[in-house]
Structure 1
């Protein structure tokens, strides 16, 4: 079925060749907001659709490496991001119940000199707010639960639960691990026998997690807040299937997360983990289970997770599943996926936020480089190039996240992993860090971030894109004897 019949290729050429493709972004998470923020700096029309009627300040902390610093600088909001966040240079791993230090995970000294920026942590709600303020309010439509999507050679269409419909030229699924856009896309591909078998399987998970953020605390309540750097404490239980972590913030709050390790891999569809296991009552029950677990506060008084729960508004504590899956299919025709919709990473590696922002940068580059009024084949080629550029980095992040998830378990494999981390030669850790932090993508159509640093960024294919000229411009050049350029070729 062809949709968006008003968009045909029989229009007046003077209208058709001046039209930029309209982008419909489903999901106002980090990735969707970042993509909208970048497109706002271009001439590409876009709209964002979010199923939630309001954005609640849920979640804990987002840890961002230097990989996203250039984007914040190009957007002109790095100083504000810096003021809202705290530097992170050391992760302290301790064991419970004694709270003895097992080892430290530390990065290179002076990361700004080496990479142009340092790793920073920011409360998730603060990052959401910063990104949303870069986008005009009329571009973000809340309370828009997408029920179905369609695509064809002429356009895309979404239908929402309130009966509204929206048409465009490109559909971006940035709607999380259980993406409605992905489900419709995969249903279409399955009918055409084009969907890899693994992509049709449910998302597996081995952990569930309790997350939240306290109210602002005093130094008497939590002395470590006085330290300028983020105090990231990862606590491992010796005799329980749990690990928990705390982070201090620039807002004098403490973000926390509690991981529970399941005996075996499961999915959301399993009987034991249906709706009765989730929601406010389930979060309250898990709080009761772990409230006596000790934490490190920097003071003489021994605090527990229960103290953090008491200092946290109850409606801002949530219980979530930590799914892990790297999908093979990221796009088809005019539809493309990004962030958790195509690669759900365990948060143990701290790479979910980084990769969502990197997706937004690279995808925005390829969308911007499309010709005026692109046909489906041109859009699909751009999406394939986007995946080709991103997949090596995502695969590496996925592997790292799984390894760090295993490290904080209580089994023998985890103990061996911790022994290796504790005794890793500095040259090995340095090699790993340089490889990971060399990926520092930028938006090609904005002024480059030229911050001097010792380690040059890895090559970025989309940084060399160039939007092709319109057919009218090409014709004018041809008439003058000048050869026209081809679509989006590197310069």
Structure 2
């Protein structure tokens, strides 16, 4: 790109973590872009994403930290991240399986997914803009490159695949549903008094706890954040891979998002009794559910698939 005229305009469909990260990198490179995301298609300068503003936590290591340094946001990230040195893995009978010590490897941080989203969102500036996008409100956007950052059930990918399928050039495997072997319940409590109820998380090592059930198909992990929240993840390991359910789930949610609240309450009810490995009294997952705002609880499917196209 030798001149300003050589630079393309990039249209990004999807304002999750991936879409915002790409937008932030284009911002640093001074390349024009527009981010589009339902339900705010008519306001690309104020992207929103249910999938990123809810959820639990993300553990960030050296791969992303190097990128944050290049973007000059590493210090901002460290201000919202909690360093972690220990992971305690145990069973629901309270036996400790092992303790993973990160002290002699590299630095890891725990950050709430919504906080990371907001950090990336602050890197995005309003932008005006061979690709044309027409949105449901009849608006159009012109650009040179179209990026589908709109999740596992990408509408951009599906439109591209329709064209390839019509010419007989779409591999059969790319036409199959996305399989998954586990579902996942995620959430983030309101700020808590660790000293009173969860003193283990006051430890300077920033430990997090992973519990493997001996009697049920669940694994659950609880992470502390720098703001005094507890982020929790409950994995339900299925007997066999399924692919039909995620598509039905997406249709029910009707917003092209696999991060919906449908059936979350049912999974909360099923797992309330599971025991936590910490606390001043015998605590259960239900105690964390009760401390979590309803709009911060989601049930998701963890699809795994590599596409040829």
How far apart are the structure 1 equivalents of 2:307 and 2:230?
34
Counterpart Cα distance in 2 of 1:311 and 1:176: 29
Q: Aligned residue for 1:89?
A: 85
In the alignment, which of 246, 271, 290 is matched to residue 290 of structure 1? Answer: 271
Residue 132 (structure 1) aligned to one of 121, 134, 139: 121
1:140 deviates by 9.7
**Structure 1 residues 105 and 328, CA, compared in 2 at 3 Å: closer, same or farther?**
farther
* Larger fraction in helix: 1
> Does the CA-based 8 Å contact 1:86-1:228 persist in structure 2?
no
- Residues 159 and 272 (structure 1), Cα distance of their counterparts in 2 relative to 1, 3 Å cut: closer
What's 2:54 paired with?
58
Greater Cα radius of gyration, structure 1 or 2: 1
For structure 1, the residue ranges without an aligned partner over 5 or more in a row are 1-15, 112-117, 142-154, 330-491
What is the RMSD of the two structures over their aligned residues, measured on CA atoms? 2.4
Report the alpha carbon displacement of residue 238 of structure 1 after superposing the two structures with TM: 0.5
Q: How far apart, CA to CA, are the structure 2 residues paired with 1:34 and 1:200?
A: 28
Quote the residue 1:30 is aligned against: 17
Question: Paired residue for 1:205?
Answer: 180
Q: Decide whether the 8 Å contact of 2:183 with 2:237 is kept in 1.
A: yes
1:90 Cα deviation after fit: 2.8
Q: Which of 252, 263, 285 is equivalent to 1:275?
A: 252
Q: Measure, in 2, the Cα distance between the counterparts of 1:133 and 1:27.
A: 16
SS state at 1:186 partner:
helix
Kept in 1: contact 2:197–2:280 (CA 8 A): no
Matching residue within 297, 302, 308 for 1:322: 302
For residues 298-327 of structure 1, what are the alpha-carbon distances to aligned partners after superposition, in whole Å with 9 as ceiling and x for unaligned?
A: x33111111101111012111111111111
Determine the structure 1 residue equivalent to 2:108. Answer: 119
Whether the 8 Å contact between 2:260 and 2:300 is mirrored in structure 1 is no
Q: Deviations over 1:161-201 (max 9, x none)?
A: 11111111000111111111111111112222222221111
Aligned equivalent of 1:170: 145
- Evaluate the alpha carbon distance shift between residue 52 and residue 72 of structure 1 in structure 2; reply closer, same or farther with a 3 A threshold: same
Matches of 1:28 and 1:268, distance apart in 2? 26
Shift of 1:55: 4.2
Q: Deviations over 1:81-137 (max 9, x none)?
A: 0111112333221101x12111133346152xxxxxx2211100000000000111x
C-alpha distance in structure 1 between counterparts of 2:305 and 2:262, whole Å? 28
Question: How many Å separate the matches in 2 of 1:42 and 1:270?
Answer: 37
Q: How far off its partner does 1:231 sit?
A: 2.1
Q: Aligned partners of 1:30, 1:69: CA distance in 2, in Å?
A: 15
Asked if structure 1 preserves the Cα contact closer than 8 Å seen for 2:37 and 2:49, the reply is no
SS of structure 2 residue aligned to 1:178? coil
8 A Cα contact 2:112 2:231, kept in partner? yes
Q: CA deviation at 1:229?
A: 3.5
Matches within 5 A, 1:339-488: none
Count of aligned residue pairs for this structure pair = 292
Counterpart of 1:251 in structure 2 is 227
CA-to-aligned-CA distance 1:143-169 (integer Å, 9 cap, x gap): xxxxxxxxxxxx112121111111110
Residues 1:108 and 1:223: Cα distance change in structure 2 (over 3 Å): closer
Q: Using a 3 Å threshold, how does the CA distance of structure 1 residues 180 and 279 change in structure 2: closer, same or farther? A: closer
SS at match of 2:5: coil
Q: Residue 76 of structure 2 corresponds to which residue in structure 1?
A: 80
Q: Using the alignment, how far apart are the partners of 1:108 and 1:186 within structure 2?
A: 47
Deviations 1:214-268 (A, max 9, x none): 0000021221231234322111111111111100110100000111122221114
CA distance in 2, matches of 1:132, 1:228: 30
Deviation of the 1:19 alpha carbon:
3.5
Q: 1:271/1:86 Cα in 2 relative to 1: closer, same or farther (>3 Å)?
A: closer
The question of 1:45 aligning with 2:32 is answered yes
Distance 1:307 1:139 in 2: 44
What is the TM-score of this pair, normalised by structure 2? 0.87
TM value normalised by structure 1? 0.56
